[in-house]
Amino acid sequence: MMFEDFAKAHGLIIRGITSHRWVATPTTDHPHSKNGRYKFMGDVGWVQNWATMDKPSIWKTDQKFVPSQQFKQDQDRAIRERMELAEKASAKAGWIMHQTELMSHPYLVKKGFPEERMAVWNTPEGEGRLVIPMRRNNKIVGCQLINEEGEKKFLYGQTSKGATLTLDAKGVPIFCEGLATGLSIQAVMRSNKMRYSIHVCFSAGNMKEVAREFSHGIIIADHDNSGIGQRVAHEAGKPYWLSDTVGEDFNDYHIRVGLFKASQSLKKFVVDHRDVLPSLSKI
C-alpha cells in the first residue's frame, strides 16, 4: 500500500506530500479544518486523525524506495532546520542558566528535598522555574524547566537524545529517568557510603540510549502502569531495580519507605550485581 492510500484509509486528505516533518491536514470528517497530521520519511511514515485516533499509526513501505529530487531537497532542508533550532536551544539554555540563582524550589520540597539548592530561573512572567541543564559530550544542549506545580517542559528544538544531567562521576554508573529519582538515588548511595555516577536521562527512551553507551552499570527503572519503564530497562541489557509497587519510581519508593529501607534495598541490589560493576567501591 502506498503512503497516500494508507493516509486516505485513516481519513486524511493529502494534496501533495511534504516530507521530514509533521504536516497538519484536513480529514474527510473535518474537511474545512486541519484535524489530521502526517509525517513521511520515505520508507516509513505516520498518520493520525485526531477525531478517531489517540496515537499515530505507522506505515512501512513494501517496495524499494527511490527518493525523488524533491524528497532529497526536503531532507536537506529539514536537517538544516534541525541544526539551526538545536543551536538556538543550546544558546538559550546557556542564557537561562546565567539568569538563575541557587535556591530551594517547591518541586524539590514536594519530592522530599527541602534543603536542596538548585538553579532557579525567575522568568519574565514572574514564575520561578527549576532549571535542569542537559549536556552531551560536556556541551549544554538544552534544559528541562519545572514549574511550582511540577509541570515539565523542554526548550523548543533542543536535541535531547543522549543528553543527561550527571550527579558526581566517580563510581557505579546508575541510569534513571527523572531528577527526583536521581536525587533519591544520590541520598541513598551517600547513606550507603558507595561511590556513584548518576545519569538522569529525562525519559525512558533516552535512558536506553545513554545506558547502551556504557559497558556496565545499573538502571533504576520507573514502575509505570504502562510497563514502559520496565520494558525499556530490559531492552537496555543491564540489571535494573524496580519498585514492588506499580506506579512508583524510586523517589516515590524512597518517600514511602524512608531512607533506611530504601538504602538497604538499593545496597542489596548493587551488591547482588557486583560481578558486573567493576567500579563498585566505598567512599
The distance of Cα 235 from the centroid of its chain, to the nearest Å, equals: 16
Tell me the β-bridge partners of 58: 46
Q: What is the pLDDT of residue 282?
A: 47
Q: What is the pLDDT of residue 168?
A: 87
Mean pLDDT of the chain: 92
Q: What is the pLDDT of residue 74?
A: 87
Mean of the pLDDT values across residues 7-28? 92
Cα 14-18-20 angle, rounded to 5 deg: 130
Q: 234 and 211 in contact (C-beta within 8 Å)?
A: no
Mean of the pLDDT values across residues 170-178? 92
Question: Which three cell numbers, joined as nine digits, stand for 50?
Answer: 485526531
φ, ψ of residue 121 in degrees (nearest 5):
-105, 120
Mean of the pLDDT values across residues 122-144? 92
Give the residue with greater pLDDT, 15 vs 258. Answer: 258
pLDDT category at 283 given cuts 50, 70, 90 is: very low
Model pTM?
0.80
Would the pLDDT of 281 be above 60?
no
pLDDT category at 176 given cuts 50, 70, 90 is: very high
Q: Side by side, which strands form the sheet with 118-122?
A: 101-103, 118-122, 128-136, 139-146, 152-154
Mean of the pLDDT values across residues 205-209? 93
Cβ atoms within 10 Å, residue 259 = 15
Mean of the pLDDT values across residues 129-152? 95
The pLDDT tens digits of the residues spanning 220-277 come to 999 998 889 999 999 999 999 999 999 999 999 999 999 999 999 999 999 988 877 7
DSSP symbols for the chain:
--HHHHHHHTTB--SS---SS-EEE-BSSSTTS--EEEEE-SSEEEEEETTT-SSPEEEE-SS-----HHHHHHHHHHHHHHHHHHHHHHHHHHHHHHT-EEE--HHHHHTT-TT--EEEEE-TTS-EEEEEEEEETTEEEEEEEE-TT--EEE-TT---TT-BEEE--SSEEEEESSHHHHHHHHHHHHHTTB-EEEEE-SSHHHHHHHHTTSSS-EEE----TTSHHHHHHHHHTS-EE--SSTT--HHHHHHHH-HHHHHHHHHHHHHHTGGG-TT--B-
Cα gap 20→208, rounded to integer Å: 24
Mean of the pLDDT values across residues 46-70? 91
Cα gap 69→90, rounded to integer Å: 32
Q: What is the pLDDT of residue 279?
A: 57
Share of the chain above pLDDT 70, in %: 98
Cα gap 246→217, rounded to integer Å: 24
Residues 6+ apart with CB under 8 A from 153: 144, 145
Cα gap 206→178, rounded to integer Å: 11
Q: What is the pLDDT of residue 134?
A: 97
Give the residue with greater pLDDT, 280 vs 270. Answer: 270
Cα 198-268-280 angle, rounded to 5 deg: 50
Q: What is the pLDDT of residue 280?
A: 57
Would the pLDDT of 278 be above 80?
no
Cα gap 114→86, rounded to integer Å: 34
Would the pLDDT of 193 be above 80?
yes
Q: What is the pLDDT of residue 70?
A: 86
Give the residue with greater pLDDT, 71 vs 105. Answer: 105
| Amino acid type, 164 | T
Q: Where are the domains of the chain?
A: 3-60, 87-162, 164-283
Cβ atoms within 10 Å, residue 167 = 18
Would the pLDDT of 63 be above 90?
no
Which CATH number is 164-283 given? Answer: 3.40.50
Cα gap 110→169, rounded to integer Å: 26
